[in-house]
Amino acid sequence: MPRIFIVPSPAANAFATGRDPEHAAIAVTEGLLNLLPEDELEGVIAHELTHVANRDTLTQAVAATIAGAISFLAQIVSYSVWYTPYSRDDRNGLNPLGMLLTIFLAPISATVIQLGISRTREFSADAGSARLTRNPRALARALQRLEATTRQLPLQANPAFEPLLITNAISGQFLGNLFSSHPSTEARIEALRKIEQEQLSRTSEFSFGR
């Protein structure tokens, strides 16, 4: 059982943290408790419990470390290019385009991959919530409420903290999704609807079989 904390904030959000299930904690804000009815709150808690079970905090920490290491190496390469003396023959052997790609695109690519992993874990946690509660529609409604609320009253926290939250206010446009730690709310709701249809189909098959 993870430790449970209530954050004294009017903003509505929730998150899970901890390197493994034995050292995990789930936090919800007072704003979330006041905003959501019981079934939607259950869906949010189940989402965070799935993050704990899947060790997603550890996964995100490893991804962030790798992205940081790639960015650091790109910085070293840029310093060596600009501050290391070269002979004319050495400079003729350098590929400027290749160096620019290494210096600028490598850290951007690492960041995009890191954020892509984060978005994948959010889809997985949504699916885990749907399995635990057998009520994917409740989580879908909660996500809609949270998106509308967080745009008006975002949680005041370090931006690096955002990947842990259940939702953010990033635009649903392509570039927004590319550099967002969360999928768009529309995409998450669509995935939950598909899960609901699959659950209803299995229930109908089971009832027919009996």
Domain boundaries, the chain: 3-209
Q: In this structure, are residues 179 and 112 in contact, taking their beta carbons and an 8 Å threshold?
A: yes
pLDDT 10s digits, 167-191: 874 444 444 555 677 889 999 999 9
Please count the CA atoms within 13 angstroms of the CA of 133 that sit on its side-chain side. Answer: 28
Task: Report the Cα 134 to chain-centroid distance in Å.
Answer: 22
Please count the CA atoms within 13 angstroms of the CA of 66 that sit on its side-chain side. Answer: 14
Active-site choice (48, 122, 147, 162): 48
Rg (CA), the chain: 22
Helix ranges (DSSP H) in 18-153? 30-35, 38-53, 56-83, 88-93, 96-100, 106-133, 136-152
Task: Supply the mean pLDDT for the chain.
Answer: 81
Which tokens is 52 given?
A: 């704990």
pLDDT 10s digits, 88-132: 545 454 556 556 666 667 677 777 777 888 889 999 999 999 999
Residue 29, beta-bridge partner list: 7
Lowest mean pLDDT segment, chosen from 17-21, 26-30, 57-61, 91-95: 91-95
CA distances from 117 to 60, 62, 154 (A): 8, 11, 23
Does 205 participate in catalysis according to the annotation? Answer: no
